[in-house]
């Protein structure tokens, strides 16, 4: 028999479920693309990471210390207000509502001693960290490869040897195209004449 929503709103988190709730909140926020973009790009300034951590702490305190029922609308407002005030970011992709709903589910499961959603978040986070680390390695190697590419580049001579000028313009254009792989667009004939 599942407890009713009224009973869940009056229930208190056990001491063993508090760390799980805190971990679940942090894991969910670490997978929220909009928040992570704001943190990585420092839309909230240099202390964007601290602001993200503070948001997780505020959500945890809201769930663990507030008395009475928890309404999803209040949580959505808290998330939206934090993103606007702390990160100068307005999210209109529906992710605020989605994250709020997931947070409410995690909280309700923690009240029941069920940590299934948190386990799923852990599994997802392990895969995300592997992808993140592989991107970092690829990006680190890009610097080395660009140096290698620069060393292997063919550089034009600084003082090219003068070429014979051809009197026929079409032959000159054809030779330019064949030599360098691009074509020269001729200048307009009446460019200097203005009425």
* Span 165-185, pLDDT tens digits: 445 555 555 555 656 677 767
- As a whole-number percent, the residues of the chain with pLDDT over 70 amount to 62
pLDDT average, residue stretch 143-152:
54
Greater confidence (144 vs 79) lies with 79
| Cα(47)–Cα(43) distance, integer angstroms | 9
Which of 66, 58, 106 has the alpha carbon at shortest distance from 85?
Answer: 58
| Cα(67)–Cα(6) distance, integer angstroms | 13
- List the chain domain ranges: 14-130
Which of 92, 54, 52 has the alpha carbon at shortest distance from 76?
Answer: 92
Which of 98, 97, 115, 96 has the alpha carbon at shortest distance from 107?
Answer: 115
Coil/strand/helix, residue 180: helix
Burial annotation 147-176 (CB, 10 A radius, 16+ → b, else e):
eeeeeeeeeeeeeeeeeeeeeeeeeeeeee
How many CA atoms within 13 Å lie on the side-chain side of 123? Answer: 6
Q: What is the pTM of this model?
A: 0.61
* Whole-number pLDDT of residue 13: 82
* Whole-number pLDDT of residue 140: 56
* Residue range 2-28, pLDDT digits in tens: 454 444 445 678 888 899 999 999 999
| Cα(94)–Cα(81) distance, integer angstroms | 15
| Cα(66)–Cα(171) distance, integer angstroms | 85
| Cα(160)–Cα(121) distance, integer angstroms | 63
Coil/strand/helix, residue 43: coil
């Amino acid at each position: 028999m599942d407890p009713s929503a009224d009973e869940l709103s009056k229930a208190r988190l056990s001491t063993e479920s508090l760390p799980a709730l805190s971990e679940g909140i942090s894991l969910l926020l670490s997978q929220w693309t909009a928040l992570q973009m704001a943190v990585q790009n420092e839309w909230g300034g240099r202390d964007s990471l601290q602001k993200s951590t503070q948001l997780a702490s505020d959500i945890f305190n809201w769930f663990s210390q507030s008395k009475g029922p928890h309404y999803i609308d209040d949580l959505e407002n808290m998330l939206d207000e934090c993103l606007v005030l702390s990160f100068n970011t307005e999210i209109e992709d529906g992710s605020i509502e989605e994250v709020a709903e997931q947070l409410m589910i995690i909280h309700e499961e923690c009240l029941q001693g069920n940590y299934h959603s948190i386990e799923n978040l852990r599994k997802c986070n392990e895969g995300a960290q592997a992808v993140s680390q592989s991107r970092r390695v690829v990006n680190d190697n890009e610097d080395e490869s660009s140096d290698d590419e620069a060393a292997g580049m063919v550089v034009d001579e600084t003082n090219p040897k003068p070429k014979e000028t051809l009197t026929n313009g079409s032959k000159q254009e054809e030779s330019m195209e064949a030599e360098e792989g691009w074509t020269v667009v001729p200048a307009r004939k009446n460019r200097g004449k203005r009425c």
